[in-house]
Amino acid sequence: MKKKILIISGGVSKEREISLQTGNQVAKELKKNGYKIKICEPNELLNDVTKTFKPNVIFNALHGQYGEDGYIQSILEKIGIPYTHSGVISSAKAMDKEISKKIFIKEKILTPKYIKYSYDKTFFEIDQNIKKKIGYPVVIKPLNEGSSVNVYICNKSNLKKNLKKLQFYKEILIEEFIPGREIQAAILVNNKLGAIELKPKRKFYDYEAKYNSKAKTKHIIPVDLSNKQFDELMNVSLKVHKLLGCRGVTRSDFKFYKKKFYLLEINTQPGMTKLSLVPEICMHKGISFIKLIKILLKDASTNK
């Protein structure tokens, strides 16, 4: 008898629509392969659904806040049913950009310089801090969002205007802007899966470039790197995956500039949409979408 899989998707984060797409595509693939599927929102009905449906594994298809920051993972731990992707602590560490950066720096992993900004500071103070510690241009971003939500590249002339767009966050990250190539590498169950390069027609690989097919981001695989450079890229990706104690699949985002890899962040819940990168890397490696899902389900069961 085929297993019962409960897929959690949707949620309340700014990535809700992407999560729904991920959930629906995973459900469609599993149904085709004879699995019994139920999709559920991460709401007050979740506990009742798990009791009545009695799934063998829960597939976490959530993205963003409350889905990949340790929150839903802590609820799933209490429910006691195996679930896919990373656990509570590793999810929380990866999602908090300041915490993860501190780990990168401690472990001598190259990452852009940064400062944390809170909105009780004056613009003069932050401008002086940037000039002293980072230099313009800079990237401003929330501490705990994914999919490049509310990320802006700024110089001094437009910084104040863009900071106002993020003032509903208590604190944000202001990061050194690294030009160069956008390269992303994936780890699947502690194995080096592969990498892909992105050439967005937009200024950088933001939310629109990721999920709007009209943005026409060019995907390049295999990536044009020497064997030594490729090994370095994948070794750093595996190192950070293990440092944070991640499970299942992760995708690490890099900038490659002047023959150096700068790690921007690690994603513990990479997307599974038609435009998503991990399924594309898998296909290049001969791993079908259903095989990828089965690997994640098996890993969830093994780690429980």
Q: What is the pLDDT of residue 275?
A: 74
Task: Kindly state whether residues 55 and 10 are assigned to the same domain.
Answer: yes
Q: Rounded to whole angstroms, how far apart are CA atoms 235 and 279?
A: 20
Residue 253 known to be catalytic: yes
CATH of the domain at 213: 3.30.470.20
Same domain, 244 and 232: yes
Catalytic residue among 9, 19, 144, 147: 147
Catalytic pick from 10, 11, 15, 144? 15
* DSSP element (H, E) containing 250: strand 249-257
- Say yes or no: 104 and 229 in one domain: yes
Supply the pLDDT for residue 207: 42
77 flagged as catalytic: no
- Across the strands, what pairs with 138? 154, 176
Instruction: Check if 17 is active-site.
Output: no
Same domain, 143 and 166: yes
For residue 19, what are the domain limits? 4-84
Beginning with the edge strand found earlier in the chain, give each strand of the sheet holding 114-118 in spatial order: 114-118, 171-176, 138-142, 152-154
Q: How many domains does the chain have?
A: 3
Mean pLDDT of 192-205: 80
Q: Does 89 map to a domain?
A: no
Q: What is the pLDDT of residues 200-232, one digit of tens each?
A: 875 544 444 444 444 578 999 999 999 999 999
Of residues 90, 194, 251, 299, which has the active-site annotation? 251
Candidate list 176, 211, 252, 276, residue with the active-site label: 211
Domain match, 133 and 272 both:
no
Look at residue 146 in the predicted model and tell me its pLDDT: 61
Question: pTM of whole model > 0.75?
Answer: yes
User: β-strands 114-118, 57-60: how paired?
Assistant: unpaired
pLDDT of residue 224: 97
Q: Which residue has the higher pLDDT, 266 or 65?
A: 266
Q: Tell me which of 148, 150, 267, 276 is the catalytic residue.
A: 267
Q: Which of 68, 265, 276, 299 is catalytic?
A: 265
Interatomic CA distance for residues 172 and 154, integer angstroms:
14
> In the β-sheet with 57-60, what is the strand arrangement from edge to edge?
36-40, 4-8, 57-60
CA distance 218 to 193: 20
155 included as an active-site residue? no
Contact 275, 191 (CB under 8 A): no
For this structure, is 127 an active site residue?
Answer: no
**Catalytic choice (248, 253, 262, 276):** 253
15 catalytic? Reply is yes
Query: Mean pLDDT lowest for which of 81-90, 101-110, 278-287, 294-303?
Result: 294-303
d(C-alpha 277, C-alpha 279), whole Å: 6
Active site residue 251: yes
Looking at the structure, tell me whether residues 167 and 61 fall in a common domain: no
Q: Do 291 and 196 belong together in one domain?
A: yes
In which residue are the tokens 């069961």 written?
301
**pLDDT value, residue 65:** 87
Angle at 230 between CA 22 and CA 104, to 5 degrees: 70
Both tokens of residue 115? Answer: 């400062």
In a domain, 185, yes or no: yes
Mean pLDDT of the chain: 91
Q: pLDDT tens digit string along 7-43?
A: 999 999 888 999 999 999 999 999 999 999 999 999 9
Instruction: Name the residue among 101, 121, 113 with its Cα closest to residue 175.
Output: 113
Q: What is the pLDDT of residue 209?
A: 44
Cα–chain center distance at 79: 24
Look up 303 and say whether it is catalytic: no
Write out the DSSP string of 109-154: -----EEEEETTS-HHHHHHHHHHHT-SSEEEEESS--TTTT-EEE
Residue of 19, 271, 276, 299 marked catalytic: 271
Is 209 exposed, middle or buried (CB count within 10 Å of its CB: 0-12, 13-18, 19+)? buried
pLDDT at 304: 60
Chain segment 102-131, per-residue pLDDT in tens: 999 999 999 999 999 888 888 888 899 999
